[in-house]
A and B are shown apart, each in its own frame.
Chain A
């Protein structure tokens, strides 16, 4: 099993450009999450989904949109990238609510906005 796969792994954007980060999981997990990690910070929740067709805002949702059209995929969109969105983005999934079975994380997408 591949687990959680994130694409792309690296990306450089110019301010104002848009892009979509893809997260795919093959574990039939109901719950999926997008986090960002900045230097010296923990992970901060951007958006999450409790099932196909559902999404909800996390701690830092501004400037991002998400979609969960298929159970296995969770997309994170940046509508108009800003330098403040330079970060490492992690997707995670879990079978149980709150990840009490333990989150499975992807390997991350390193995004630089110039």
Chain B
């Protein structure tokens, strides 16, 4: 069963705009991770946020975590065509095996 669910399923924006995608999960977690998958490729780890953290930054990426709402958001600022990819959140349920489960992903298209 999928712990995390991304929203929206698909997002289409113009280059230069910001892209925001969300992840909601069902049970308390230890960590939440975001991954990117380019078409036909494996997933690439972007960022991990721990349950006691509220916000993290990495370059043009900003991740927030709201444990009271069981949700996270990934913001990509000043998007580029190269950001076109699918983005997945992965959560590991507290008290579980510590192995993250992945959502279905958000497909992002950035038009040049």
Known A-B contacts A102-B33, A107-B42; A42 and B99 likewise in contact (beta carbons under 8 Å): no
Considering only residues 57-114 of chain A, those with a C-beta below 8 Å from chain B are 58-59, 90, 92, 97-100, 102-108
Q: Which residues of B contact A (CB under 8 A)?
A: 1-2, 30-31, 33, 35, 40-45, 48, 88, 90, 92, 97-105
Q: How far is the CA of A33 from the CA of B102 in the complex (A)?
A: 13
Query: How distant is B73 from chain A, measured CB to nearest CB, in Å?
Result: 18
Contact present for B41 and A107 (CB under 8 Å): yes
Q: Inside 8 A of A43's CB, which chain B residues have their CB?
A: 43, 88, 102
Contact present for A45 and B45 (CB under 8 Å): no
**What is the size category of the interface that chain A forms with chain B?**
20 to 34
Task: Provide 17 A-B residue pairs closer than 8 Å at the C-beta atoms, listed in order of the A residue.
Answer: A42-B101, A42-B102, A42-B105, A43-B43, A43-B88, A43-B102, A44-B102, A59-B1, A92-B43, A97-B98, A98-B97, A99-B33, A99-B90, A100-B31, A102-B45, A102-B48, A108-B42
Q: Inside 8 A of B41's CB, which chain A residues have their CB?
A: 107-108
* B40, B41, B88, B99: most-surrounded residue (chain A CB, <10 A): B99
Contact present for B92 and A98 (CB under 8 Å): yes
Known A-B contacts A42-B88, A42-B104; A106 and B42 likewise in contact (beta carbons under 8 Å): yes
Q: Inside 8 A of B100's CB, which chain A residues have their CB?
A: 98-99
Query: How distant is A35 from chain B, measured CB to nearest CB, in Å?
Result: 8
Q: Inside 8 A of A4's CB, which chain B residues have their CB?
A: 42
Query: How distant is A38 from chain B, measured CB to nearest CB, in Å?
Result: 10
Query: How distant is B42 from chain A, measured CB to nearest CB, in Å?
Result: 3
Contact present for B102 and A98 (CB under 8 Å): no
